[in-house]
Amino acid sequence: MYKALISLFFIANCHAAFYMDYKLNYQTETDGGDAGAFSYTRMMNSVFFAASMDRDKRFYIGQSAIFWNKTQQQGEDSDDEFTMNLLELGPRIHYYFTQNRTWYTSLVYNFYVNGTSQTAGVEGDVSGTSYLASLGYHYKFTRTIGIGASLNYHSVTLDERKVDSTSNDVSETFSAIVPMLEIAFRFR
């Protein structure tokens, strides 16, 4: 009974705030009309769930999920097409610079990166690690909702490719600076 009362006391004095955000980026580029035409499409989504770790509710730690795909084609021949679809999971730290929670920075390290990659018609499963560093701004739309944008540096390193049942070690890195629109929800 004594332990139950102590645990209820700590729960009642808990001042943690909960936080969730969704980020989106879509970009496309086309060049040409001749035999050397180039096309590129990338869609990136990110979801983050966290709890505050300080009394001021400016420092959050939680789970991030990033899912994105990329298609790149050189020329009109579909054999020159490269497609990649990835899911990235890992912890994220998020820190607001100001008390009114507008400007922020965050860092994600994804231990789990898994997906598919298709080059020249050959599809395989890929895995590796990644990280994402962000600097952003949230306009307080309401007390709990913020809308804004961020500038993100995203780097993915693939270290394994599996085609059929054959696994190969690879060393491929994809890096990009990605602007993203976002919506954030803060509770409590």
We report the CATH number of the domain holding residue 117 as: 2.40.160.20
Whether residue 15 has pLDDT greater than 50:
yes
Q: Across the chain, what does the average pLDDT equal?
A: 86
1 domain residue, yes or no: no
Distance of alpha carbon 146 from alpha carbon 102, whole angstroms: 8
Total domains present in the chain = 1
2 domain residue, yes or no: no
Distance of alpha carbon 70 from alpha carbon 86, whole angstroms: 9
Q: Which regions of 3-37 does DSSP assign to beta strands (E)? A: 18-31
Among the listed ranges 69-73, 75-79, 122-126, 170-174, which one has the minimum average pLDDT value? 75-79
More confident position, 79 or 115: 115
Predicted pLDDT of residue 46: 95
52 domain residue, yes or no: yes
- Compute the C-alpha angle 179/183/188, nearest 5°: 140
Structural domain including 78 reads: 16-187
5 domain residue, yes or no: no
pLDDT interval class at 12 (50, 70, 90): very low
149 domain residue, yes or no: yes
Is the whole-model pTM more than 0.85?
A: no
182 domain residue, yes or no: yes
Whether residue 159 has pLDDT greater than 50:
yes
More confident position, 154 or 33: 154
Look at residues 86, 137, 83 and name the one whose alpha carbon lies nearest to residue 110.
Answer: 86
Residue percentage of the chain with pLDDT more than 90? 53
109 domain residue, yes or no: yes
Across 152-175, average pLDDT? 87
CA dihedral sign, ordered 132, 136, 140, 141: negative
Whether residue 11 has pLDDT greater than 50:
no
7 domain residue, yes or no: no
CA dihedral sign, ordered 170, 171, 176, 178: positive
Whether residue 179 has pLDDT greater than 60:
yes
Across 124-128, average pLDDT? 90
Across 39-50, average pLDDT? 93
